Structure 1
Amino acid sequence: MARARLNSGNGIDEELPKTKINKASLSNVGKLLKYLKPYRAKFIIGMFFLFLSSVSLLAFPALMGSMVDAAQGKQGLAFIPANIKSIGIIAFIILFFQSFVSFFRIRLFVEVAEKTLADIRRDTYFNLITLPMDFFANRRVGELNSRLSADLSQIQDTMTTTFAEMIRQAILLVGGISFLFIVSVKLTLLNLSILPVIVIIAVFFGKFIRSLSRKAQDKLAESNTIVQETLQGISNVKAFVNEAYEANRYQNSLKAVVDLALRGASYRGLFASFILFCIFGAVVSVIWYGSDLIARGELSVGALTTYIISSLFVAGSMGSFPELYANVQKAVGATERVIEILEEDKEQVSIHPEENEIKERIKGGLQFDQVKFAYPSRREITVLKDISFSANVGEKIAIVGPSGTGKSTLAALILGFYKPQQGHILFDNKDANDFKLTDIRNQVAIVPQDVLLFGGSIRENIAYGKLTATPEEVIEASKRANAHDFIMSFPEGYDTLVGERGIKLSGGQRQRIAIARALLKDPAILILDEATSSLDSESERLVQNALEELMKNRTSIIIAHRLSTIREANKIIVIEKGRVVESGTHYELLQHETGLYRYLSNLQQEKIDG
């Protein structure tokens, strides 16, 4: 899980988890690198420009040192002229050259990274929307969205910046150290005798400080959770007069955060002091020893200047590697999560519209034959047990029963969201597995209890049932769904924006738009999943009239809570604890004195009378 980290203010940013770099993780990186293949020529040219810009940078310490020697009338490095003006001109020529190649290097790397990431984003999204429902049932939307945003952004940053910077710093490090040996072997050996001690202490001390920092971040996250829980349940807090309890809980959490933060600050202060002492101590040592070498005639002032500038290059390169390596670890972790989506088994659905067109028509016959089903994430709980029933073309079949008996699961099975573990589902006496999945879904429509509308216009939401629908077809479907009048009452009519998830519309209005959408689809089989259970009486009347229009001349599976809405059904299937316990017409089932349907009917009638 991603860990929260403190930003420069008081908020919390999301920090992507780091992954150890090993053979398996590098294998995943290799799978994504294939996306670079179409752009490999530009990538290679960008790498060449990167090499040129990095190597040219190494010339500056030598030029600056030679300029100091030239000012004293001495010859610096043999291949550099002992003339201040000439050295200055050479420096500006190299600077211009470096700026020129740096521009093209950055331009090429960004182009390659953007196009590569666009391809990865496209394939990840395309694969994501063709995954089976079970995949989404076990993951949060925020987590999946993070993979398309945060994870891919981390990969993008690594490709455009981190990767190039690591190569650049590696060239500067290797070239810088080599140059230090050329300038002065004695000074370089002095530095190398100090460096291992600093690095070892810094690594171990740094890990300890990061551990403290993570604990402080976790504590802060806990305190923020207390705030979130308290505000979400503020009515309960006030109802139980627990304001003092919550205040004390939050205060104790903050105290723990402060204690950890102060402890961490103490160690960070010690660490910072140690590093400063080592860095400036190394500088003083180099200048001290270098001055002694100058006094003895073993080193020139310009050579010492060259050495100090080169040392700064080397130190800067070494200091940048921990952060760069951490970014690479995050990118490797992000790669693993993206690869997981790309390698998931997809449904038999295409992202190309022409491949999803109906190949085999369904007339509307439906049959469940001894179907047994448990959700893949909860295989120990059998939801449906030997369910059998049939619906002839054009019949209305109602499914009733107590909550949690598997009624809505039937709808998911009809749509092919899941496959039964045993038994068969048949359309027109032909096994569902013999149909293309897109053929089934193209000819089955559902009007759920909680209608989800997209954030566009009413017209777009209705036309979602048939993307090629004309404006006239959209209006005709709306009229048949009792939706046209309320749509035209809005100033912008069919172009009215419904808001996120249709929040600007009432429940009844959303239902009628969903019915218009289903009418436009013109399915062979219609599923009504408690489509009127959460509506007031007036909205229910309008929606029920629209549903009657929708159910004409098509097979309808009505999952109902209000039994008054299914009295005219051709057959009522009563389910209890995942089994069919009764079936028949409304009047036949009322004759069973000990039957569940009669009990439920009487219970609802008592509520109405009461």
Structure 2
Amino acid sequence: MAVTPPSRPGAADKRPVRSLSGLLPFLRPYRGRIALALLFLVLAALATLAFPIALKSLIDQGLVASDPGERVMALRGHFFALFGVGAALGVFSAARFYMVTWLGERVTADLRNAVYAHVVRQSPQFFETTQTGEVISRLTTDTTLVQTVVGSSLSMGLRNTVMGIGALGMLIVTNPYVMSQVLGTLVLVVLPSVWLGRRVRKLSRASQDRVADSSAIAAEVLNAIPVVQSYVQEAREARRFDAATENAFDTARRRTRVRSFLVAFIITATFGALLWGLYQGTQAVLDGKTSAGHLAQTVVFVTILIGSVAVLSEVYGDLLRAAGATERLMELLAARSPIESPSDPKPLPPTRGGSSLALRGVTFRYPSRPQHAALDGFELEVRPGETVALVGPSGAGKTTVFQLLLRYYDADVGRIELDGVPVREAALEALRGRIGIVPQDSVIFSADALENIRYGRPGASDADVMAAAQAAFAHDFISALPEGYKTFLGERGVRLSGGQRQRISIARAILKNPPLLLLDEATSALDAESERAVQAALEAAMKDRTTLVIAHRLATVQSADRIVVMEAGRIVETGTHAQLAAAGGLYARLAALQFDQPASAVTA
């Protein structure tokens, strides 16, 4: 079970950090809250910047009075001013934290919902090249990174940007000559930081891709646990997952190493430049060119600036990681399904007694197998209320007919019509709403029996659900479950037998009550007694509707109005069971094999 990672566009690695602009549509609805968050952020930053100014006043003015009483009163006033600055900082910081955290949670939820809603509308062609584990990784790991940025890092970055610019501005105003030298030095810090930042971002994207690879392996193996265990491959799969996680760790280690060097370089270089400025300030105090309070103010502003640069270097790394995560999410949102409803769909006419359908000269190749025609010049017309069976060897194209009718794919050549309307011109919801399908591999959701059957018609009452279960001969075994219809059936219906899962799937289709019913080996998992019962239920359900049946067990389709024999994507024979058995063709040979008698005796 080798896993081939889905293709990933290499150009994404070369895009600048502005890939975060993909989040703008998700931020735009919350402009008011963003404005409030920015207001509180600026106020908190200004309160921080007010602290060194208040400290300077405390030192230069609170200690100058000669009278001890006046000095105490002056100090008290300045300390109250400092407390007011601290209280304002606490209130504004708390308000900023709440607003920004709310935005992070809200935007992440909206983004996750948008990506999921978009993915579930993709055609099967999308999942031929994209693993579900990859999609799950993007929905979880990548959105968590985005949440970290929107709900924390971005706020910290903006706050420290305001504080850093403010502190730098105050230092320039108070020490213009010294700070002009410092700024010249800081320019030399920027260029290496940009180069290292690009390297971090590329490694961040690669790290997230490797995590997605391990998620894909886990999703594949956990969905096939019985097969893995039956072949005693647990150790092999554990080693394969271990290799994937080690690969992810190695990439993350390289990313962390470069990012650590980036942080160390920025902080060390900035710290050195600012210490040079501070040294110049102390020399000015010793020379009597400035006051002690001014020096204290400069020290605090330098501390704020150094702290801001340190935080910004960390935030920059988070932004680079989030940029890679956003790119991966935007790739999913940018994926366009080749199967979409037309902008001006034709309405399907009302039906009585089932739908009519026609496939005219249909040729189709699966996108993943373009060299092989699954259907080749296929022609079929089915009248309303008619039951038509599709039989033939595996790979003949029977299931492909179903997939084209449901418009999971579009035919390369030819025309498919339902009730006289080309399926390409009908709304997808209306088209698929007219079709009920019972697949060979019954799908059971992680819910109770009642909700699994109600999936066929979500608005159905409990009585309607039970009536459908009775028609599918599922009522008795469901009633015998520990909590009856409210019994949780487990993930993928692991608490049920294959035949029980198939009967629930049949009940779901019966509840939908569509004019066109597609049965893909609908009784393949049933024992002989259950098959007879369900066959009778299916025959009752097929009344007053059109039915297409795929069957390998020919005994289940002998009563069909017409049997269509397929081979290599073409129709090779058509007729009733008796006609085809007497013709001595492919159907007669298949029937002879199944009924264990000579082909000439099949009609007896």
Shift of 1:118: 5.1
Report what 1:144 is aligned to.
Answer: 135
Are 1:406 and 1:578, in contact at CA under 8 Å, matched by a contact in 2?
Answer: yes
1:36 to 20, 28, 32: 28
2:170 to 179, 189, 205: 179
Report what 1:348 is aligned to.
Answer: 341
2:587 to 569, 572, 597: 597
The CA deviation string for residues 499-538 of structure 1, in whole angstroms up to 9 with x for no partner, is 1122211111111111111111222221111123344445
Shift of 1:29: 4.6
Matches within 5 A, 1:166-315: 166-189=157-180, 191-192=182-183, 194-196=185-187, 285=276, 288-315=279-306
Are 1:358 and 1:438, in contact at CA under 8 Å, matched by a contact in 2?
Answer: no
Aligned equivalents of 2:141, 2:528: Cα separation in 1: 46
**Local SS of the residue matching 1:375:** coil
Shift of 1:557: 1.0
The CA deviation string for residues 140-179 of structure 1, in whole angstroms up to 9 with x for no partner, is 3333344544444444443333333332222112111111
Corresponding position: 1:450 with 2:441: yes
Shift of 1:138: 3.8
**Local SS of the residue matching 2:31:** helix
Structure 1 residues 512, 259: CA separation in 2 closer, same or farther (over 3 Å shift)? Answer: closer
Matches within 5 A, 1:390-429: 390-429=381-420
Instruction: Tell me the number of residue pairs that the alignment of Structure 1 and Structure 2 aligns.
Output: 573
Matches within 5 A, 1:77-156: 83-112=74-103, 114-115=105-106, 119-156=110-147
Aligned equivalents of 1:95, 1:422: Cα separation in 2: 74
Are 2:342 and 2:425, in contact at CA under 8 Å, matched by a contact in 1?
Answer: no
Instruction: Identify the range of structure 1 (444-453 vs 135-144) with the bigger mean alpha-carbon deviation.
Output: 135-144
Aligned equivalents of 2:107, 2:210: Cα separation in 1: 39
Report what 1:479 is aligned to.
Answer: 470
Report what 2:516 is aligned to.
Answer: 525
Give the TM-score taking structure 2 as reference length. 0.79
Give the TM-score taking structure 1 as reference length. 0.78
Are 2:56 and 2:293, in contact at CA under 8 Å, matched by a contact in 1?
Answer: yes
Report what 2:601 is aligned to.
Answer: none
Instruction: Identify the range of structure 1 (460-469 vs 115-124) with the bigger mean alpha-carbon deviation.
Output: 115-124
**Local SS of the residue matching 1:591:** helix
Are 1:480 and 1:516, in contact at CA under 8 Å, matched by a contact in 2?
Answer: yes
Shift of 1:126: 4.2
Structure 1 residues 572, 235: CA separation in 2 closer, same or farther (over 3 Å shift)? Answer: closer
Report what 2:8 is aligned to.
Answer: none
Question: Aligned partner of 2:559: which letter?
Answer: E
Are 1:358 and 1:442, in contact at CA under 8 Å, matched by a contact in 2?
Answer: no
1:563 to 544, 554, 565: 554
Aligned equivalents of 2:341, 2:209: Cα separation in 1: 43
Aligned equivalents of 1:191, 1:159: Cα separation in 2: 32
Shift of 1:410: 0.7
**Local SS of the residue matching 1:558:** strand
Matches within 5 A, 1:580-595: 580-593=571-584, 595=585
The alignment-based identity, stated in percent, is 34
Report what 1:365 is aligned to.
Answer: 356
Report what 2:15 is aligned to.
Answer: 20
**Local SS of the residue matching 2:488:** coil
Aligned equivalents of 1:114, 1:223: Cα separation in 2: 26
Aligned equivalents of 2:209, 2:408: Cα separation in 1: 39
The CA deviation string for residues 567-586 of structure 1, in whole angstroms up to 9 with x for no partner, is 22222212111111222222
Gaps of 5+ in 2: 6-11, 67-71, 599-604
Shift of 1:194: 4.8
Report what 1:45 is aligned to.
Answer: 36
Note the aligned Cα RMSD (angstroms). 4.7
**Local SS of the residue matching 1:557:** strand
Aligned equivalents of 1:599, 1:410: Cα separation in 2: 23
Report what 1:10 is aligned to.
Answer: none
Are 1:508 and 1:535, in contact at CA under 8 Å, matched by a contact in 2?
Answer: yes
Shift of 1:457: 1.3
Are 1:220 and 1:254, in contact at CA under 8 Å, matched by a contact in 2?
Answer: no
Structure 1 residues 515, 196: CA separation in 2 closer, same or farther (over 3 Å shift)? Answer: same
Aligned equivalents of 2:115, 2:207: Cα separation in 1: 35
Aligned equivalents of 2:451, 2:240: Cα separation in 1: 51
Corresponding position: 1:375 with 2:375: no
Shift of 1:558: 1.1
Instruction: Identify the range of structure 1 (522-531 vs 110-119) with the bigger mean alpha-carbon deviation.
Output: 110-119
Shift of 1:496: 0.9
The CA deviation string for residues 208-258 of structure 1, in whole angstroms up to 9 with x for no partner, is 8999999999999999999999x996887889xx99xx999999x989999
Report what 1:494 is aligned to.
Answer: 485
Structure 1 residues 404, 171: CA separation in 2 closer, same or farther (over 3 Å shift)? Answer: same
Instruction: Identify the range of structure 1 (332-341 vs 442-451) with the bigger mean alpha-carbon deviation.
Output: 332-341
Are 2:341 and 2:428, in contact at CA under 8 Å, matched by a contact in 1?
Answer: yes
Structure 1 residues 328, 122: CA separation in 2 closer, same or farther (over 3 Å shift)? Answer: same
Report what 2:49 is aligned to.
Answer: 58
Question: Aligned partner of 1:311: which letter?
Answer: V
Are 2:342 and 2:426, in contact at CA under 8 Å, matched by a contact in 1?
Answer: no
Are 1:36 and 1:112, in contact at CA under 8 Å, matched by a contact in 2?
Answer: no
Are 1:515 and 1:546, in contact at CA under 8 Å, matched by a contact in 2?
Answer: no
Aligned equivalents of 1:44, 1:412: Cα separation in 2: 50
Are 1:529 and 1:558, in contact at CA under 8 Å, matched by a contact in 2?
Answer: yes
Question: Aligned partner of 1:596: which letter?
Answer: L
Are 1:511 and 1:543, in contact at CA under 8 Å, matched by a contact in 2?
Answer: no
Report what 1:12 is aligned to.
Answer: none
Question: Aligned partner of 1:464: which letter?
Answer: Y
Question: Aligned partner of 1:106: which letter?
Answer: F
Shift of 1:559: 0.7
